[in-house]
Chains A and B, each alone.
Chain A
Amino acid sequence: MYLLYATEEEANNRADQEGQLVGYKYWTSNGSTRWKTYPRITAKPLIGSAKWSLDVSDYTLTEEEQAATVDSVTYPSNKV
């Protein structure tokens, strides 16, 4: 389950928000773990210009966010 964002910064901000809610030690002391999941760019925008995806399967979502989720995304490939 993913949320889509137009910019990496917007997606980062949401990832930061969840990381703080969970209480990863990056946010409270001298820890290194900062995020639960981190944004990844998709192969192409799925909705409008939104091409930055954030896996929110295990996030605490608002009703508005819940309604905006998509089930799958496609990432760019450089297969050889």
Chain B
Amino acid sequence: MFLALKNALGKPLVATYKGLLDSFSGASAAYSLRRLSGSYTGHALRVRRSGDNVEADVGFNGGSVSLTSPVTNASGEPAYTLTYSDSAWQFTGSATFTSSSSTGAFVISGTSGTFSTDLTFSTSVASGSAVSVRVTVASGISGTWSVNLQDASGSVVSNSAAITTQGTKTLSLTSTAPATKVVISTISSSAIINASSFSATASEGDTAATTLDAFLKEGAITYSSDYSSGTDSWTFSGGSVAGQASIGGEDNALKVTRSGAGAFFPQRSNVIAVDGTYIITLKLYVPSTNTSGNLNFNVKEAGGGNTVATNLTAQDTWTTFTVELVVSGGNNVIQVTSSSMSDGDEFYIKDFVATQTGGMDLFVDTWYDQSGNEKNATQSTAGNQAKLASGGSLITTGGKIAMDFDGSNDFLDIDFGANLSQPNTVLFVHESDNTNAADNEFFDERGSGQRSLIDVGSDGDDYRIFATGSLFFSGIDITTNQSTVFTVFNGSSSVISINGTAATGTTGTNGINQTQAIAYSEGNNDFYNGTMQEFIVYNSDQSSNRTGLESDLSDFYDI
């Protein structure tokens, strides 16, 4: 919320935003679709758009994510490029360096030593620009390192937190002054580091949209091919396809040949998606040498879906068609079809472009941590990403934007950097799609060892927390209503509170694992089926703040 302050003369001062974390500080990680702190200036989410897989960061429009939220840092060509050379990398110790011009990756291999390096931007990065740096530290490697932006004099104008964990890290740095280079600093270890995909991003990229609404409605090219590289994964089980064919003055056409009498139905997968509306343009050529003389060609969703006629009327000439196809059958395969063709009949396709114009989905790639600890919740596997928008509309719960987990395989990973020993407090806002125990797994470890679990227990209806011992919330069953859940993992002083009604008891002594997941449980590889709007973790006992925290949640979400 914004507080309108006035001075002694009654003149308004600059409005100050105050969020939950300003009243209840010290969170280890905090994720929400509303802004939780006046000091947080980062994004809410990174989303992936269905169809063309374009990604962008979504910010807050004031206090919440909405259709008018700003969209920035889109994927695509970077506005700035980096120049680098072997000599820019400096080592002390035994290490070798290779670079790959095809991927822009740097691979540093060494058995010991200390090294640092700098990469110089070809153009100075403007103050306020976001720079994305992806670095992979191989498994089995230990060390501490960080990435920073420096100005021409070598002063640091943005610095990442110290990073000690293995795996791939995508670091977002925002320059506070014009920056000229990226520096990976002071890596002291036996190290193999793959520093790849350095890019500085601005508004240029795969989208011209500047708001979430525009991003959701923007026409997205889901597939295009001129077949200059061959068949481009088109197949035809009723005959054959061949690329780079020359006919009618065009080179590099896709040639389709029927084997035996029957229909034409060459096809390609990963072009369309269910509920999408597509504008498809293509060029067709049918030679007069065909035996059948059939000109009834269609664009079709495979598997019994919708069909659109092209109304081809002439042989021996290229004809361009633009058709609209609404996908209904849930098949991602597009076909170009014709019936009753003869053995050896041919036709040709050129310049096929599919543009999705409606029904786009948005998926959550990253739920940014607003605590300041940079423990973002991430999901790099498209099939496991929760939805933020479905069929062109934002998902809501209780009238406010929410993300939806499908209960089949959607979840978000968190790497806390280390186990969080008790006491711990975890609170969240959710609305389940059903009350099945197997569909209500909210929080669990993804590693091994320490385990703190929040779910609905196997008795089938009670909320539960588990940390080598289970504490059930007996009395109020899980419902399909929007609910606040407040939990404290603190041995014999543990707490579960649902919508403000609390139970206390014992739940064991385990902490939260370094690698946890939201919406998943390793118990039986079950997931969470429902929506979620906020999820906050404290590495402390917040029992004394329980009613205040719950009131903050229930007031905002009107629960």
Please indicate whether A and B come from the same complex rather than being unrelated chains: yes
Given the known A-B contacts A29-B77, A29-B199, A75-B525, are A55 and B383 also in contact in the complex, defined by CB atoms under 8 Å?
A: yes
Judge whether B75 and A25 touch: CB under 8 Å: yes
B270, B366, B470: the one within 8 Å of A22 (CB): B270
Across the interface, do B75 and A80 meet the contact criterion of CB distance under 8 Å?
no
Q: For the complex, is B101 an interface residue (Cβ under 8 Å from A)?
A: no
Instruction: Decide: A29 and B78 in contact? CB cutoff 8 A.
Output: yes
B382 touches A25 (CB 8 A): no
Main secondary structure of the interface of A (DSSP, over half): loop
In this assembly, does B122 line the interface, its C-beta being within 8 Å of a C-beta of chain A? no
CB distance from A66 to the nearest CB of B (A): 11
B75 neighbours in A (Cβ, 8 Å) = 25, 28-31
In the complex, A51 has a CB within 8 A of chain B: no
Q: How far is the CA of A26 from the CA of B170 in the complex (A)?
A: 10
CB-based contact A30/B199 at 8 Å? yes
**Beta-carbon contact of B77 and A26 below 8 Å:** no
| Cβ contact within 8 Å between A37 and B383 | yes
Q: A31, A78, A79 — which one has the most chain B CB atoms within 10 A of its CB?
A: A31
B382 to A77, Cβ gap below 8 A? no
Q: Which residues of A contact B159 (CB under 8 A)?
A: none
> How many angstroms between the C-alpha atoms of A76 and B526 in the bound complex?
11
- Interface set, chain B 77-114, CB cutoff 8 A to A: 77-78
Q: B471 → chain A, closest Cβ, in Å?
A: 12
B453 at the interface (CB under 8 A from A): yes
Interface stretch (choices B46-54, B291-299, B300-308): B46-54
B384: chain A residues within 8 A (beta carbon):
37-38
B366, B381, B453, B525: residue with the most chain A Cβ atoms closer than 10 Å: B381
Beta-carbon contact of A33 and B383 below 8 Å: no
Does A21 lie within 8 Å of B233, measured CB to CB?
yes
Question: How far apart are A79's CB and chain B's nearest CB, in angstroms?
Answer: 4
Residues of A contacting B77 in the complex (Cβ-Cβ under 8 angstroms)? 29
Q: Of B76, B466, B525, which contacts A80 at CB under 8 A? A: B466
Beta-carbon contact of A25 and B470 below 8 Å: no
- Cβ contacts B196-235/A at 8 Å (1 or 0 each): 0101010001100000000000000000000000000100
Measured between beta carbons, the chain B residues less than 8 angstroms from A24 are: 48, 53, 382
Is the beta-carbon distance between B53 and A79 smaller than 8 angstroms?
Answer: no
Contacting residues, chain B, for A30 (C-beta < 8 A): 55, 73, 75-76, 78, 132, 134, 170, 197, 199, 201
Give Cα distance in the complex from A37 to B470, angstroms.
33
- B417: Cβ under 8 A from any A Cβ: no
A79 touching B365 by the CB < 8 A rule?
no
Which residues of chain B have a CB within 8 Å of any CB of chain A?
46, 48, 52-55, 73, 75-78, 132, 134, 170, 197, 199, 201, 205-206, 233, 269-270, 332, 363, 365-366, 378, 380-385, 453, 458, 466, 470, 522-525
Query: What are 17 inter-chain pairs, A to B, with CB distance below 8 A?
Result: A22-B53, A22-B382, A26-B197, A29-B199, A30-B75, A30-B78, A33-B380, A34-B380, A35-B380, A35-B382, A38-B380, A38-B384, A58-B270, A75-B525, A77-B525, A79-B523, A80-B523
Interface residues of A (CB under 8 A from B): 21-26, 28-38, 55, 58, 60, 75-80
Given contacts A21-B233, A33-B365, A37-B383, 13 further A-B contacts (CB under 8 A): A25-B54, A25-B55, A29-B75, A31-B55, A32-B55, A33-B385, A34-B380, A35-B380, A35-B383, A36-B381, A36-B382, A38-B381, A79-B524
